[in-house]
Amino acid sequence: DMDAITLSVARMVEQKRIDPANGWQLILVASLSNLAFKAGAATFLGGRRFGSRVLAAFAVAITGGLALLLFFP
């Protein structure tokens, strides 16, 4: 899932095409999108009850990721 985006962003940082300060943010946004998609897939495939359990587990990571994006310079 995340291997391709992580390697691509790392390569772009290494080539100085993007700033390292933005690189971690891009990877974080991709991982949050990945979690949101997986929560949706779990709900679709496993039903509302299962999806709510998965979303509850993912909520901590999503909240932490959003806080990092908003409050970390």
Q: Sign of torsion, CA 50 54 57 63?
A: negative
User: Residue type for 67, please?
Assistant: A
pTM: 0.86
14-70 per-position pLDDT tens digit: 999 999 999 999 999 999 999 999 999 999 999 999 999 999 999 999 999 999 999
**CA nearest to 40, candidates 24, 62, 66:** 62
pLDDT of 63 reads 95
Q: Nearest to residue 68, comparing CAs of 36, 44, 32? A: 32
pLDDT of residue 45: 97
